[in-house]
C-alpha cells in the first residue's frame, strides 16, 4: 500500500479557520447572541428613529409698513404682506420611554412639545405699495429685514399664547396611541414628564 503525504499550506489553514469562524458566528447570531426584543421596545426604537414628529403647523399672514425719511438719501415707503410658518411637535430623540407592565398596561413617557420652526416664507412676500423719491437709494431687503424678524417673533409668541404646544402634545399622544393600538395594546397610559429629564 502506497502512502501519500498530504501537505496543507499555511494559507489553506487560515482559510479553514476563517470558514469555521464565520460559520460559528452565523450560528451564534441566529440562535444565541440576540435577546428577543419586546414589541414595545421595537416601537420605542422606531419612534426614536423618527426623531421629530411635527403635529401642528400654523400659518400667519402679516402686513408690514416701513418708512424712511432722509433729506440726503431720499424718502422710502413700502407696504407688503408676508406669511410666517410656525411648526411644533415632539422630538422623540430627546427621550421616549414605552414600557409594558405586568398587568398588561403600556406606560408611555415622552418629551414635552416644542416649536421646531418659526420663520417667514420669503416667497410669500407680496408688495402692496412702494414709494421711492431717490434713484440712488432704492429699497432693499435689508431695509425691512428687522421688521420681518420682529414680526416673526410676535407671531411665534402669538402661537405660544394660542396654545400651540398643548395642541402639539395632544396630537403627538394621539399618534403614539394609534401606533400602539395597531400593535394590539389596549391599556395605554401616558406618564407626565420627560424620561431623560
> What is the rounded distance in angstroms from the CA atom of residue 151 to the CA atom of residue 49?
34
- Please provide the average confidence, as pLDDT, over all residues in the chain: 77
Q: Kindly state whether residue 23 falls inside one of the protein's structural domains.
A: no
Our count of domains for the chain comes to 1
- The more confidently predicted of residues 60 and 104 is 60
CB 122 within 8 A of CB 158: no
Q: Can you give the residue range of the structural domain that contains 129?
A: 37-190
Q: Return the H-helix or E-strand segment holding 181.
A: helix 164-182
Assigned domain for 104 exists: yes
Burial of 170 (C-beta count, 10 Å sphere; 0-12/13-18/19+): middle
Assigned C-alpha cell, 139:
429699497
Residue 158 lies in a domain: yes
* Residue 17 within a domain: no
Q: Which ranges of 99-163 does DSSP label H, i.e. alpha helix? A: 141-161
The pTM (predicted TM-score) of the whole model is 0.66
* 20, part of any domain: no
3-class secondary structure, 53? strand
Is residue 46 in some structural domain?
Answer: yes
Over residues 140-163, the pLDDT tens digits come to: 666 667 888 888 899 999 999 999
Residue 59 has pLDDT above 80, yes or no: yes
pLDDT tens, position by position, 69-79: 766 666 777 78
Residue 150 lies in a domain: yes
Domain presence at residue 157: yes
Amino acid at each position: 500500500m502506497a502512502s501519500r503525504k498530504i501537505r496543507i499550506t499555511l494559507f489553506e489553514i487560515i482559510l479553514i479557520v476563517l470558514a469555521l469562524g464565520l460559520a460559528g458566528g452565523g450560528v451564534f447570531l441566529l440562535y444565541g447572541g440576540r435577546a428577543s426584543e419586546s414589541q414595545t421596545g421595537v416601537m420605542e426604537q422606531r419612534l426614536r428613529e423618527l426623531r421629530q414628529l411635527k403635529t401642528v403647523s400654523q400659518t400667519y399672514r402679516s402686513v408690514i409698513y416701513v418708512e424712511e425719511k432722509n433729506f440726503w438719501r431720499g424718502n422710502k415707503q413700502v407696504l407688503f404682506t408676508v406669511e410666517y410658518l410656525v411648526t411644533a411637535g415632539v422630538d422623540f430623540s430627546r427621550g421616549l420611554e414605552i414600557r409594558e407592565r405586568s398587568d398588561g398596561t403600556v406606560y408611555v413617557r415622552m418629551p414635552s412639545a416644542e416649536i421646531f420652526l418659526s420663520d417667514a416664507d420669503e416667497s410669500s412676500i407680496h408688495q402692496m405699495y412702494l414709494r421711492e423719491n431717490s434713484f440712488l437709494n432704492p429699497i432693499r431687503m435689508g431695509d425691512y429685514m428687522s421688521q420681518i424678524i420682529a414680526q416673526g417673533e410676535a407671531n411665534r409668541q402669538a402661537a405660544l399664547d394660542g396654545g400651540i404646544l398643548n395642541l402639539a402634545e395632544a396630537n403627538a399622544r394621539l399618534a403614539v396611541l394609534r401606533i400602539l393600538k395597531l400593535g394590539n395594546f389596549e391599556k395605554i397610559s401616558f406618564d407626565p414628564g420627560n424620561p431623560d429629564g
